[in-house]
């Protein structure tokens, strides 16, 4: 997506509010062609993180350190940069952009990352699963984080609703959270995660996505689409010129709308594992 858009004169900005070395982003993002990459090291003094880790990795202690260093900034939820603060950074980069070229940003947020056992004064855990047999601490914490993400996403949408430049935003999840096995079993309606059907196994890799624009686009609900097709759908929605490969992918998605690590699914709703002929 980066090289395709840069070939059409877009600038390309990458944002990830955690350490730059994760997934070798310092090299990979250069190879992908991003013009600029902002990471945790550009956002805050990472010596605060080292002090927090050296003192038992207590998120309340990190909150105290960050409050003292950046009073009134409200940077964190738990021990991570919040989605709300992350979006403020994204908006600032957009406002400071080169206005002579179209703008593309890829933003990998950090707020909802695991683990889900520690609590912190900077995070209100207000969402609880009620249709399950017990209190699942990790799952409830994750659901509360998702609610905080919803609130932050509204802030982002509210801002770009006022922007005159035609803007398309795609938000998607990269994987499901690592919460209690019992919670996953209840959600799937099974006693164990061994011996799952191909459909059940693939359902463990479903995350939602939304594509929004600040102008009229066709409203639709897409029941199934795997991540390998998502950039093509975004380009189509934004009316960006697509390479033949992306056009091919969109045609393939009509036949096999889902291709993932666990198997694939055809347009008739049949699920297959990679072991199936």
H helix runs in 82-169, sequence order: 83-95, 137-161
Mean of pLDDT over the chain = 96
Once rounded to an integer, what is the mean pLDDT over residues 83-93? 98
Q: Report pLDDT for 74.
A: 96
Span 58-83, average pLDDT: 97
Q: Tell me: the pLDDT tens digits for 103-125? A: 999 999 999 999 999 889 999 99
- Cα torsion through 207, 115, 155, 173, rounded to 10: -20
Structure tokens at 27: 């090299």
Q: What pLDDT sits at residue 269?
A: 95
Q: Shortest CA distance to 270 belongs to which of 252, 256, 251, 249? A: 256
Question: Treating both helix axes as pointing N-terminal to C-terminal, what angle do 83-95 and 137-161 enclose, rounded to 10 degrees?
Answer: 20
Tell me the C-alpha distance between 156 and 172, whole Å.
14
pLDDT at 2 over 90: yes
The residues, ordered by sequence, that sit 6+ positions from 35 with a Cβ below 8 Å of its Cβ are 11, 12, 13
pLDDT (0 to 100) of residue 118: 86
Closest-CA residue to 228 (of 248, 201, 200) = 248
pLDDT, mean of residues 182-209: 96
Average pLDDT for residues 199-223, to the nearest whole number? 96
C-alpha to C-alpha distance for 187 and 191, rounded to whole angstroms: 10
Average pLDDT of span 219-245: 96
User: Does 93 have pLDDT greater than 90?
Assistant: yes
What's the N-to-C CA distance of the chain in angstroms?
A: 33
At 166, is the pLDDT very low, low, confident or very high (cuts 50, 70, 90)? very high
Instruction: Assess contact for 6 and 12: CB atoms under 8 A.
Output: yes
Core vs surface per residue 230-269: b (16+ CB within 10 A) or e: bbbbbbebbebebeeebeebeeebeebbbebebbbbeeee
What global pTM score does this model have? 0.95
The answer, yes or no, to whether residue 159 has pLDDT greater than 90, is yes
Q: Beta strand 103-107 with 11-16: parallel, antiparallel or unpaired? A: parallel
CA 135, distance to chain mean position in Å, is 26
């Amino acid at each position: 997506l980066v090289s395709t858009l840069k070939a059409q004169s877009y600038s390309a900005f990458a944002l990830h509010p955690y350490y730059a070395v994760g997934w070798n982003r310092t090299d990979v993002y250069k190879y992908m062609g991003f013009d600029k990459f902002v990471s945790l090291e550009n956002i805050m003094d990472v010596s605060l993180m080292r002090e927090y880790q050296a003192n038992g990795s207590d998120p309340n202690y990190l909150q105290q350190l960050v409050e003292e260093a950046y009073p009134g900034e409200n940077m964190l939820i738990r021990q991570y940069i919040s989605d709300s603060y992350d979006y403020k950074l994204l908006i600032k980069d957009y406002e400071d952009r080169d206005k002579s070229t179209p703008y593309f940003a890829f933003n990998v947020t950090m707020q909802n990352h695991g683990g889900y056992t520690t609590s912190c004064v900077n995070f209100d855990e207000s969402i609880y699963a009620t249709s399950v047999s017990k209190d699942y601490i990790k799952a409830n914490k994750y659901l509360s984080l998702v609610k905080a993400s919803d609130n932050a996403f509204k802030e982002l949408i509210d801002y770009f609703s006022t922007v005159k430049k035609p803007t398309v935003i795609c938000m998607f999840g990269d994987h499901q959270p690592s919460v209690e096995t019992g919670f996953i079993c209840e959600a799937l309606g099974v006693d164990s995660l061994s011996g799952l059907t191909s459909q059940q196994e693939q359902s463990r890799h479903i995350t939602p996505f939304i594509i929004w624009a600040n102008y009229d686009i066709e409203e639709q609900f897409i029941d199934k689409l795997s991540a390998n097709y998502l950039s093509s759908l975004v380009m189509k929605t934004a009316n960006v010129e697509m390479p033949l490969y992306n056009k091919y992918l969109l045609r393939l998605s009509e036949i096999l709308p889902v291709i993932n690590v666990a198997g694939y699914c055809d347009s008739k709703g049949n699920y297959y594992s990679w072991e199936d002929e």
